[in-house]
Amino acid sequence: MSTVSPVLRNRSARIALTVVVAIALIAAPLLLPAFANQTLVRIGVYAVAVLGLNIVMGYTGQVNLGQIFFVGLGAYVTAYGVNHGWNIIVVFVAACAIAGIVGLLVALAAARLGGLAIAMVTIALPIVGVPLAKRLSEFTGGSQGISARFSDAPDWSGLYSDQWQFYIVLLVTAAAFLLARSLVQGKYGRAFGVVRENEAVAASMGVSPYRTKVLAFTIASILGGASGFLYLAAVQYTSPETLSFGHSISLLAAMVIGGAGSIAGSLIGGAYYVFVPQLTNAIDPSFTTLSQGAILLVVLFLLPEGLVSLPRVIRRLGRRRTARPTSGNPPQTAPAHHPVPEAAREGLENTERQDRP
């Protein structure tokens, strides 16, 4: 599933590239205009939320329609902590921990249902979350929302606020991505994959599907909380609108369009989440939802593994053109990533696309 091109497999080249990227990211806010920094900051914010969604959905195969709820929860906890004068580290830990605990409780119940029921339960989170946020106005400021300023650059730094915010977001985002990467490449990542492919097989291998799903969901919630913290660092304000159902769907779309089951895809997803509504809003705000649905469906049809798979798909198409199999009438239209037994079941559908006599 590696998406790196052969050049990058070379170890020293990879280290060099990492160093270059790191330097570029550290230097960027000093060189870029404020608007560009703010945009990059927002990409970081949503990339972390999409990353969490990717852990539970892309890697573990549990459809989660409520990720935005944890982003909102993290944002509210952050606002509350900041306004009560908590230390910022404590605020960050609380934002992650409370989102994680709520996520754990939801998962403990929802994962019992199995299959698509998790999707059916999680869809309720933003729908219940919005009135709940309005109701608990002593914590949330009700419909008006709540603001909290903690991310203005301190005087000693000599930085502008957008640059300071960039570094906060960069720090947390980079840590989240590195942790997520080592998670999915390790033992737990394999457990996620087995549960996604086949729960019965997972159970027979000694991997508890229930516990794995709860774990993945909890990690996703923690990352959602972290994203909420970053959201408040970037926007300094949150309201019930932050966790609306529409935004949850957008997160899902961003994850799928970026690339389900891909760490790099989460970053692309974050960029999609920020850029595309900006773009469609610029053309005509009333087309935003329509174009989002259309883009999501087009990607699912043409690029089911998301934008991150684009280079691979192009390479594969190139190869196919040069080396076409010669035998009779092979069903090469079947996507190459399908496992072999699947092909037998697909026969029914494949034949349907053939000409009738």
Partner 1 sequence: MTLLELADVTAFYGPVQVLDGVSLSVPEGGSVGILGANGAGKTTTLRAVSGTVRTGGRITFDGRDIRGLRPDQVAALGIAHVPEGRGTLGQLSVRENLLVGAYLRKGRKAISADVDYCLDLFPQLQDRVSSRAAALSGGEQQMLAVARAFMAKPKLLLLDEASLGLAPSTAKTVYDSIRRLRRESGIAMVVVEQNANLAFSLVDTATVLETGRNVLTGSSAELKGMDEIRRAYLGG
Partner 2 sequence: MGMGTFIQLVVDGLSTGAIYAALALAIVLVNQATGLINFAQGGLAVLSSYIAYVFVRLGLPLILAIIVAVVLSFFIGALVERFLVRRFERGDPDTAVVVTVGLLTLVTGLCAVLWGYNNLGFPSLFPLTSVEILGAVVSVRSLATTVTIVVIMVVLQLLFLRTKLGLALRAVADNPASAAFSGLPVGRLLMVGWGLAATLGAIAGVLVAPQLTLTPGMLDTALVYALAAVILGGLSSPIGCVVAASAIGVLENLVAVYVPFIGHDLKIAVPFVLIFVILVLRPQGLFGRKVVVRV
For partner 1, the closer CB: 112 or 345: 345
Asked whether position 326 contacts partner 1 by CB under 8 A, the answer is no
Q: For partner 2, which stretch binds (CB under 8 A), given 59-67, 84-92, 152-160, 186-194?
A: 59-67
Q: For partner 2, which stretch binds (CB under 8 A), given 75-83, 171-179, 194-202, 309-317?
A: 194-202
Q: Are 78 and 229 in contact (CB under 8 A)?
A: yes
- Report residue 86: phi and psi, to 5°: -70, 155
For partner 2, the closer CB: 169 or 215: 215
Asked whether position 154 contacts partner 1 by CB under 8 A, the answer is no
CA pair distance 203, 206, nearest whole angstrom: 5
- Of 300, 314, 330, 332, the residue at the interface with partner 2 (CB under 8 A) is 300
Nearest to 188 by CA among 163, 213, 165, 164: 213
Asked whether position 329 contacts partner 1 by CB under 8 A, the answer is yes
Asked whether position 201 contacts partner 2 by CB under 8 A, the answer is no
Q: Are 285 and 246 in contact (CB under 8 A)?
A: no
For partner 2, the closer CB: 134 or 181: 134
Q: How many residues would you count in the chain? A: 357
Q: Are 76 and 228 in contact (CB under 8 A)?
A: yes
CA pair distance 24, 308, nearest whole angstrom: 21
- Residue located via tokens 């991505």: 177
Q: Is 167 helix (H, G, I), strand (E, B) or coil?
A: helix
Q: Which two tokens stand for residue 316?
A: 């594969």
Compute the radius of gyration of the chain from its Cα atoms.
Answer: 22
Q: Which two tokens stand for residue 238?
A: 């949150």
- Amino acid (one-letter) located at 96: C
Q: How many Cβ atoms are within 10 Å of 311's Cβ, its own excluded? A: 12
Site for partner 1 in 178-207 (CB under 8 A): none
Where are the extended beta strands (E) located within the chain?
146-147, 237-238
Asked whether position 87 contacts partner 1 by CB under 8 A, the answer is no
CA pair distance 147, 125, nearest whole angstrom: 23
For partner 1, the closer CB: 138 or 349: 349
Q: Which one of partner 2, partner 1, none interacts with residue 128, CB within 5 to 8 A by kind?
A: partner 2
> Cα angle at 190 between 187 and 194, to 5 degrees?
140
Q: For partner 2, which stretch binds (CB under 8 A), given 45-53, 144-152, 266-274, 284-292?
A: 284-292
Q: Which one of partner 1, partner 2, none interacts with residue 112, CB within 5 to 8 A by kind?
A: partner 2
For partner 2, the closer CB: 285 or 311: 285
End-to-end CA distance of the chain: 41
Computed from CA positions of residues 35, 309, 196, 342, in that sequence, does the dihedral angle turn out positive or negative?
positive
Asked whether position 232 contacts partner 2 by CB under 8 A, the answer is no
Q: Which one of partner 2, partner 1, none interacts with residue 340, CB within 5 to 8 A by kind?
A: partner 1
Number of residues that bind partner 2 (CB under 8 A): 52
**Closest approach of Cβ 288 to partner 2, in Å?**
7
For partner 2, the closer CB: 9 or 112: 112
Q: Which one of partner 2, partner 1, none interacts with residue 343, CB within 5 to 8 A by kind?
A: partner 1
**Closest approach of Cβ 327 to partner 1, in Å?**
7
- Of 17, 296, 303, 310, the residue at the interface with partner 2 (CB under 8 A) is 296
Q: Which one of partner 1, partner 2, none interacts with residue 329, CB within 5 to 8 A by kind?
A: partner 1
Q: Is 88 helix (H, G, I), strand (E, B) or coil?
A: helix
CA pair distance 86, 77, nearest whole angstrom: 11
Site for partner 2 in 327-346 (CB under 8 A): 345-346
CA pair distance 91, 74, nearest whole angstrom: 9
Q: Using CB under 8 A, list all residues that contact partner 2.
A: 57, 61-63, 65, 108-110, 112-117, 119-121, 123-124, 127-128, 131-132, 134-135, 198-200, 245, 249, 252-253, 256, 286-294, 296-297, 300-301, 304, 345-346, 348-349, 352
